[in-house]
Amino acid sequence: MTRTSTWQIGAVVDAARARIATARLAAAYGVPALERTRLTTALSARLRQCLTKGGAWRLTLDVTGSGPADGLLTVTLTPDREASAAGEPPWRISVACPEPTAAAHEEAPDDPAALAEALLGADEDTALALDRLTEQEDLVAAHREELHQTNQGVLALHAELDAAGHAQREAFAAERRARTEAEQARRRLTFLADASTVLTTSLNHEEIVRRLPDLLVPRYADSVDVWLFDDEGGRGPSAPRPAAAVLAARTGRPQYAADHPGGLPGVDDRPPSALEPTRPLLCVPLSTRRAPLGVLTLSPPGARWEPDDAVMLIELCRRASIAIDNARRFEHNRDIAETLQRALLTELPAPPGLGLAARYLPATRGLNIGGDWYDAFRQPDGSLITVVGDVTGHGLHAAVMMSQLRTALRAYAVDGGSPGRLLTRLHVFLHHLQPDLFATAVIARFRPGEDTVTWAAAGHPPPVLRLPDGRVRVLDAKPGAMLGIPLRQEIGDHTVRVSPGSTLALYTDGLVERRAAGIDPGIERLAAALGGCGPTELDTDLEGAADRVLEPLLRDSERDDDVCLLLCHIAGVPSPP
C-alpha cells in the first residue's frame, strides 16, 4: 500500500508549510519524536539550500507498507527541470513508519497567523528531543567524576582538543591568506581594466607613451622608461640602453636584470645592468604581430615584484603595444587622408569682377576627409563654372569618388554646355561608374559682361542669393533628382538676374541640416547670416565674410557631416571720388 502527498516549493512560505505538514504527517504515521526531530531538522536545512539556489522544487511524501514491521516514510525533494539539466540530483530521506495505515493529517494552514502558530507547534518534537538531551546530560554529570579519575582519557582528550585547535588556527590562517590573495587579484584586474581604458581612449601614440609612467608610478614601479624604435630616427645619437632591454628587443621575451633571481613566470633572469647595477630592472618588449615596437623598462617600487604583479605588467605591456600600434596606424591613415584632401581642394581662380571664397570643414568623426567638394574653373568661352557637390558617405572611398566626379565635370565642361547639361552628363557617368553610389551637386555659371547667373541643382540644397541692398532670396526652383539614381532624367537650367554687389552662396547640407530640426531652419539662418554682411565687407574682405557666415551656423553643429561653403561675389560699382 502506498500513499503520496506533494507540495510545490517556490518561496519561504511554501517551505514553512511543507515542513509543518511533514512533521504532522510523520506524527500521524507514528514516527517517534526523536526521529521526527531528525527528519524535520534535515528537511529544514535542505529547504534553506533550495531557497538560496532559487527555482521551483517539489516535495513528495511517500508512505509504503501495511504494518509496523515494513512501514516506511520517504521524503523526496526534486529540483525543477532547469536545475535537473544542470546536474542537480534529488534529495531523499527515509524513516521507519510504525503506523503506515493511519489517517492522513490535515494540511498546513494558509493564513499567516495560523501558519506561525502551526510552525511553533511543529517544534514540539524538538522540545521532546531537548528533554531527552537533558536526561543524557544528567547521565554525563553522574559519570563525570569517574571520567576525571581516568587520567589517560583526560590526556587523550586534551591532545585531541589541542590538535583540533591547531587545525582550526591553520584553517583560519589559510582563509585569511586566500582572502588576501583574492583581494590582490581583484585589485590587479581592476587596475589592468582601468589602465587599458586609459590607453585605448587616445589615438595619439605619443600621448599613450606619456600616460604609461603616470599609470605605473608609484604603485607598480619606481621608474618607467619607454624605448620606441621608430621614435629615434633622425634625432641624433640614441641614449644608452640596458643590455637586458636590448636582449628583450632581440628575443621578444621579458628580461629581469638583478643580482638575485627574480623567479617571475615567463621572464628570463639576467645579471644586473652595468648602467644601474644597484636596481633590479624588468624589461618587457612592446610587440605586435606585425613588428616589434620597443621595450618598456621598469624598476620595482620595493625590493622586487610579486610573480602575479609581473604577469599583470607583461599583460599591460601587451595591451599598450596594441594601443600604440593602433594609434600609429590611425595617425598614418590620417596623414594620408589630409594629404589627399589638400590635393583635392581647388585653388580658386581670381577672374576680374568676381570674388570667390570657399570653406571646407571635414566631419570630426573618423578620418578628416569626406565626399563634399567645391570647384571653380573657366570654360573655353570665358564663362566661369562654380560647383559644390556632396557624395554620399564619408571617408576615403567617398573622397576618391568625389575626385572622379570633379575630374569628369571638368572634362565635360571643355565641350561647353549649361549647368543642367553638365549635371545630366554627371548623372549618367555616376550611374554607370558606381551604381550603388549617389551624389548631389549645384552648378552656377557666370558669363563675363552679363547680368545673369545660370544655375542647376541635382538633389542639392538651393543656392542663396544676397542682393546689393541686403535682401536675400532662396533660389528654390525645382531641382533635379540625385545623381546616380536609377532614373533617366534631363536636369533643367534656371536663370536669375544679378547686379554688381550681389553674392551667391553655394553650400552642402552639412552646413544647414540638423537631425532635430531638419534643413529649412538652417537655410533661414544662412540667409540671415548672409544678409547681415555689409556690402563694403563683401567687396573688401570676402574671406572674412565667409568665416563670419559660418560662425553662427556651426555653434550647434554636431559636426557629424562635412561642411562646404562657396561664396561668389560680383564686385560692386566703385563709389565716385
pLDDT at position 160, please?
Answer: 85
Closest CA to 90 of 123, 122, 32, 46: 46
Strands 370-378, 439-446: pairing is: unpaired
pLDDT at position 374, please?
Answer: 92
CA distance 334 to 387: 26
Domain 345-570 - what CATH class?
Answer: alpha beta
Q: Where along the chain do its domains lie?
A: 2-147, 199-337, 345-570
Complete DSSP assignment for 405-444: HHHHHHHHHHT---HHHHHHHHHHHHHHH-TT--EEEEEE
CA distance 69 to 65: 8
Helices (H), 96-202: 112-121, 124-148, 151-200
User: 517-543: string of b/e by CB count within 10 Å (b at 16+)?
Assistant: eeeeebbebbbebbbebebeebbebbe
Number of Cβ within 10 Å of residue 430's Cβ equals 24
Cell numbers representing residue 248 in the block? 628583450
Summarize the chain as % helix, strand, coil (round to 5). 45, 20, 35
Looking at residue 541, its amino acid is: D
CA angle 280, 283, 287 (to 5 degrees): 170
| CB-count burial class (<10 Å; 0-12, 13-18, 19+) for 62 | middle
CATH of 199-337, one of 2.40.170.20, 3.40.190.10, 3.30.450.40, 1.20.1050.10: 3.30.450.40
Report field, pTM of the whole predicted structure over 0.95: no
Complete DSSP assignment for 223-256: EEEEEESGGGTTSSSPPP--HHHHHHHHH-S-EE
| Bridge partner residues of 569 (DSSP) | 355, 503
Looking at residue 302, its amino acid is: G
pLDDT at position 376, please?
Answer: 94
CA distance 550 to 567: 11
Question: Which residue ranges in the chain fall short of pLDDT 70?
Answer: 1, 66-69, 100-127, 129, 145, 147-148, 151, 154, 231-238, 337-338, 341-344, 364-370, 394-395, 557-560, 573-577
Distances in Å between the Cα of 297 and the Cα atoms of 249, 270, 305, 387 are: 11, 14, 14, 56
Distances in Å between the Cα of 308 and the Cα atoms of 177, 189, 213, 304, 313 are: 15, 11, 20, 12, 9
Strands 268-270, 57-64: pairing is: unpaired
Number of Cβ within 10 Å of residue 341's Cβ equals 18
CB 465 within 8 A of CB 504: yes
CB 240 within 8 A of CB 286: no
Cell numbers representing residue 317 in the block? 605591456
Looking at residue 37, its amino acid is: T
SS3 201: coil
SS3 160: helix
Closest CA to 207 of 328, 32, 84, 362: 328
Strands 464-466, 384-394: pairing is: unpaired
pLDDT at position 442, please?
Answer: 96
